Chain A
Amino acid sequence: MKKTITVLPFILATLASGFASAKDVVNIYSFRQPFLIEPILNKFTEETGIETKVVFAKKGLIERMKREGKHTPADLVLTSNFSALLQLKNAQLTQPIQSEIVNKNIPAQFKDPDGNWIALTKRVRNVYSSKERMGALPELTYEELADPKYKGTLCTRSGKHPYNLGLVASMIAHHGEQETKTWLEGVKANLARKPQGNDRAQVKAIKEGLCDIALGNSYYFGKMMQDSKQKVWAESVFINFPNQTNRGSHINVSGVVLSKYTKHKANSLKLIEFMSGESAQKMYASLNMEYPVKSGVALSDMVASWGKFSEDAISLHKISENRTLALKLIDEVKFDL
């Protein structure tokens, strides 16, 4: 018993740690890995003296914010896809980002009409193809991925991953539910293996000859070119932009929202403005190989080398409306099983 009494103060002191203190900071809940955004945040701190703190998780942050309610310590949320932006807005956890600078930097199609979210970067859902066995596929469409001529050659990550969900939702938006379901069944029939791994793993599988074509986001390709081990994987594939002959390639966005209950509003706005500005947008392009949303910002040499392409102009909202339906279809055709 005596031991219990001596350790209690230690326990209490430890438990109380992490109790937020108000300073010149911006607290960020992030769905994006800290190492991806750290350089940009560091630059921000350097320029403004405002510190940033990040809690990173891939799952559950929105639920946490809901439960925390008005006491949430989060000032900003950084997301890696569009649905999360919309979910945050719908859960009424956001407030309009009112800033002339942001308005000037971000084109209208990349921000919420009410200003509750803005996109920071764009990424394309590409199709990689084996240089050796498939060659470049400049005229490929997403629809063709269900063509039996690709039987046993296709690899992808889980159909339920937000990136694939977004693509399937856009297919529903363009073709309707029934046609998309048939398409999904065709795609599943073409799979060389059960959906698994992330986008990098698909490129690796092409390199090793397990499959010839694979779905993958554009920036992974750039990131792999920078990695000594993965460079050979990336060099074994072409990066293709689907549907160039008609509507253009499916794009998704990463973005940011301002917490409804932020306690550091001025600082947070400064950070959002910074992230939408020239230098941060350039860093996104050069470090993470993403497409900046601010017009006029130069692409990195590598991203530029992939060539110009046309984007599917359908609104992100329209895609997002079909997200749940997309998930249901994926369950119905047992895409991942």
Chain B
Amino acid sequence: MHLSITRWQFVAWSAGIILTLPLIFLVFESLIPDPDVFDHLWNTVLWDYTYNTFVLIFGVLALSSLIALPLGWLIAYCDFPGKKQFEWALMLPLAMPTYIIAYVYTDLLDYAGPVQIWLRNTFNWQNPSDYWFFDIRTLPGAIVMIALVLYPYLYLIFKTALREQSFKLVQASQLMGYSARQSFFKVSLPLARGSIVAALALIAMEAMADFATVNYFAVSTLTTAVYDTWLGYYSLTAAAKISGIMLLFVFMFLSIEHFSRRNRVVHERGGVNNDAMLYKLSKYNGLLSTLFCCLVLLFAFFIPVSILVSYAVSYFDQAWNSEFFIYAWQSLKLAAIVSFICVALSLFVVFNQRLSTKSIDLIPGRMASMGYALPGTVLAIAVLLPLSLLDGAVNQFVGLFMEEPGLIFSGTLVAITLAYVVRFYAISQGTIEASFTRISPSLDMASRSMGKTPEQTLLKIHFPLLRRGMLTAALLIFIECMKELPAALLLRPFDFETLATHVFQYVSDEQLELASISALFIVLVGLLPLYFITSSMESAKFEEELTNE
């Protein structure tokens, strides 16, 4: 038995180290002294940037919670008109890249956009001083844009957690005379706390790593500072230093996340889910819920999509390109591979955490999750650092016997794949870890006392129970991969184009109109797994009831 535990540890630690290598190289880079640039930034703009970053992160967290928590609860526990459709439709905004939604809303709400022009014509206002209209290209604007596409994380994870909670607890709270609101705050929220914090940590990291939106909105954050120092001052070292500060934040988020989960003693047994809803909403409240869902969907999905469609129609001749299908296929393949690798690795890592009694085994998962908050381009360079060394070594060695093979790691899709895995591993780690904690350790003990090996326990006991968590993780990662831009842009080999990189060449020139069709493709291809996985989660529900019996 001792041997098999070592095997788990070996895999988990190898995964942890490989995924952290790029970051380690980056940290080494940051140790090279480069006081000039860093001091200059410190004395001028760095504090503004840090402040903006904090406001951005906490703004996005607050707004996503305001949107996602009520939605999750309504969908999990209540019945109202259109609920079945909303349940999956509320995930749609996730398929919308932030750089596209930001672009579309700027076009719409800018001073020169149709909304303000209409207002001016209607009320006969002449110039900006005649009236007040919020400016979309601001920090609050960026918060709204990012929250609109990130809230589905929290919604999905919270909803899943509520479903996995025992309904009996909520029913008991009802019997004790709790109102719906009391029960939400006193029972559902505290019980789902671990999942909520896990989702918020993901959202915080994603918001911190965002470059496209804040750059487009001319909001300077730490990410901006990283790019300025690297591409403006040509100092990768100073850029690595600022990335280091950001990584510290991430470590903080992850520790908070872990801490919040550690305090939980209760492992829920999993509820028997049935279609009988816990709360009957009054007709008025039911309609209100429907309206709320509609509004969220309208702003986060249908308005941007319909604008994209209108671009696509009026610019069809210039925007159509028969190579879309190739781009779509390449994006899809890459996304599928990355999702698979992430989920498989986190299974190993999380299972090792579970088997081990030592807290040192928590390290691989924590380490490997840190890449999520790195801005894509910086991550891309960080990935190149070890890969190009490796390539150099391989070429030198092989070169002794035959022709040098060239860049077999950094020059192929290995580089993009590694970058994506490093970036999105945190999603699967967070989701699967959260699912794992919901499985009572007594199940492990029972299985082991019946003479099953850890492998058998994983396959026969945990695997089926984790299915939903794994699917959720795979879905989230898949969609993120479809949208991910900077790493693909910088690391891709010749002849490899994803939908996102194709869109970017036009967006970078503020000509989204010309890329509207491929932008729609990104959304559509993202919708496929969304539909597939939502429906398979429905069927997974039934099996879970059986396992819970």
B324 in the interface (beta carbon within 8 A): no
User: Does the CB pair A15–B411 fall under 8 Å?
Assistant: no
A101 in the interface (beta carbon within 8 A): no
Of A118-126, A266-274, A290-298, A326-334, the stretch lying at the interface with chain B is A326-334
Per-position 1/0 for A270-312, Cβ under 8 A of B: 0000000000000000000000000000000000000000000
B326 in the interface (beta carbon within 8 A): no
Bound complex: CA A97 to CA B189 (Å): 67
Q: Which of A55, A67, A196, A328 contacts B217 (CB 8 A)?
A: A196
Bound complex: CA A158 to CA B137 (Å): 13
What's the least CB distance linking A241 to chain B, in Å? 23
Known: A18-B496, A331-B41. A73 touches B490 (CB 8 A): no
Q: Which of A1, A20, A60, A208 contacts B380 (CB 8 A)?
A: A60
User: Does the CB pair B408–A19 fall under 8 Å?
Assistant: yes
Size of the A side of the interface (Cβ < 8 Å), in residues, is 60
Task: Return the 5 tightest CB-CB contacts between A and B, nearest first.
Answer: A18-B493, A196-B218, A208-B112, A53-B494, A67-B388
Q: Which of A64, A73, A207, A336 contacts B112 (CB 8 A)?
A: A207
Known: A61-B490, A64-B384. A205 touches B112 (CB 8 A): yes
B417 in the interface (beta carbon within 8 A): yes
What's the least CB distance linking B12 to chain A, in Å? 16
A229 in the interface (beta carbon within 8 A): yes
Can you list 7 residue pairs at the A/B interface with Cβ under 8 Å?
A20-B407, A68-B407, A73-B407, A73-B494, A200-B510, A210-B128, A229-B314
User: Does the CB pair B495–A68 fall under 8 Å?
Assistant: no
A205 (CB) vs chain B CBs: closest residue: B112
User: Does the CB pair A67–B385 fall under 8 Å?
Assistant: yes
What's the least CB distance linking B285 to chain A, in Å? 42
Residues of chain B contacted by A27 (CB below 8 angstroms): 494
List chain B positions with a Cβ less than 8 A from chain A.
40-41, 44-45, 48, 111-112, 117, 126-128, 135, 137, 217-218, 220, 227-228, 230-234, 236, 314, 333-334, 337, 340-341, 344, 377, 380-381, 384-385, 388, 391-392, 395, 404, 406-408, 410-414, 417, 459, 486, 489-496, 501, 505-506, 508-510, 513-514
User: Does the CB pair B395–A55 fall under 8 Å?
Assistant: no
User: Does the CB pair B406–A160 fall under 8 Å?
Assistant: no
User: Does the CB pair B505–A18 fall under 8 Å?
Assistant: no
A27 (CB) vs chain B CBs: closest residue: B494
- Within 15-70 of A, Cβ neighbours of B (below 8 Å) are at 15-20, 27, 33-35, 53-61, 63-64, 67-69
Bound complex: CA A194 to CA B48 (Å): 15
Interface core residue of B117, B126, B231, B344 (most chain A CB under 10 Å): B231
User: Does the CB pair A71–B112 fall under 8 Å?
Assistant: no
Bound complex: CA A332 to CA B493 (Å): 39
Known: A55-B492, A324-B233. A33 touches B228 (CB 8 A): no
User: Does the CB pair A11–B337 fall under 8 Å?
Assistant: yes
Bound complex: CA A328 to CA B137 (Å): 24
A201 in the interface (beta carbon within 8 A): yes
Bound complex: CA A164 to CA B112 (Å): 23
Residues of chain A contacted by B333 (CB below 8 angstroms): 14
Bound complex: CA A238 to CA B514 (Å): 26
Q: Which of B231, B314, B509, B513 contacts A59 (CB 8 A)?
A: B231
What's the least CB distance linking A58 to chain B, in Å? 6
Known: A19-B411, A87-B234. A336 touches B218 (CB 8 A): yes
Interface core residue of A1, A58, A72, A204 (most chain B CB under 10 Å): A58
- Within 204-262 of A, Cβ neighbours of B (below 8 Å) are at 204-205, 207-210, 229
User: Does the CB pair B233–A17 fall under 8 Å?
Assistant: no
Bound complex: CA A334 to CA B232 (Å): 15
User: Does the CB pair A15–B414 fall under 8 Å?
Assistant: yes
User: Does the CB pair A160–B381 fall under 8 Å?
Assistant: no
Residues of chain B contacted by A55 (CB below 8 angstroms): 492-494
Q: Which of B40, B128, B506 contacts A33 (CB 8 A)?
A: B506
A178 in the interface (beta carbon within 8 A): no
B389 (CB) vs chain A CBs: closest residue: A67
User: Does the CB pair A332–B411 fall under 8 Å?
Assistant: no
Residues of chain A contacted by B232 (CB below 8 angstroms): 160, 165, 324, 327
Residues of chain A contacted by B407 (CB below 8 angstroms): 20, 68, 71-73
Q: Which of A4, A59, A67, A71 contacts B377 (CB 8 A)?
A: A59
A195 in the interface (beta carbon within 8 A): yes
Q: Which of A17, A160, A337 contacts B48 (CB 8 A)?
A: A337
- Within 85-142 of A, Cβ neighbours of B (below 8 Å) are at 87
User: Does the CB pair A7–B340 fall under 8 Å?
Assistant: yes
Interface core residue of B41, B220, B334, B417 (most chain A CB under 10 Å): B220
B414 (CB) vs chain A CBs: closest residue: A15
A315 in the interface (beta carbon within 8 A): no
A182 in the interface (beta carbon within 8 A): no
User: Does the CB pair B112–A210 fall under 8 Å?
Assistant: yes
Bound complex: CA A55 to CA B497 (Å): 9
A148 in the interface (beta carbon within 8 A): no
Bound complex: CA A205 to CA B413 (Å): 42
User: Does the CB pair B411–A73 fall under 8 Å?
Assistant: yes
User: Does the CB pair A71–B490 fall under 8 Å?
Assistant: no
A176 in the interface (beta carbon within 8 A): no
User: Does the CB pair A17–B413 fall under 8 Å?
Assistant: yes
Q: Which of A64, A194, A210 contacts B111 (CB 8 A)?
A: A210
Q: Which of B44, B227, B380, B391 contacts A71 (CB 8 A)?
A: B391
Residues of chain B contacted by A11 (CB below 8 angstroms): 337, 340-341
Known: A71-B391, A331-B41. A63 touches B410 (CB 8 A): no
Residues of chain B contacted by A64 (CB below 8 angstroms): 380-381, 384, 490-491
Bound complex: CA A14 to CA B228 (Å): 35
Known: A57-B489, A60-B380, A67-B385. A33 touches B505 (CB 8 A): yes
User: Does the CB pair A332–B381 fall under 8 Å?
Assistant: no
User: Does the CB pair B492–A18 fall under 8 Å?
Assistant: yes
A133 (CB) vs chain B CBs: closest residue: B127
Bound complex: CA A15 to CA B385 (Å): 19
14 extra A-B contacts, CB within 8 A, seeds A19-B493, A324-B233: A1-B459, A11-B337, A11-B341, A16-B412, A20-B493, A60-B490, A71-B404, A160-B228, A165-B232, A198-B510, A200-B510, A209-B126, A324-B232, A336-B218
Bound complex: CA A195 to CA B137 (Å): 10
What's the least CB distance linking A268 to chain B, in Å? 14
- Within 130-186 of A, Cβ neighbours of B (below 8 Å) are at 158, 160, 165
User: Does the CB pair A334–B48 fall under 8 Å?
Assistant: yes
User: Does the CB pair A69–B392 fall under 8 Å?
Assistant: yes
Residues of chain A contacted by B341 (CB below 8 angstroms): 11
Bound complex: CA A200 to CA B135 (Å): 19
B380 (CB) vs chain A CBs: closest residue: A60
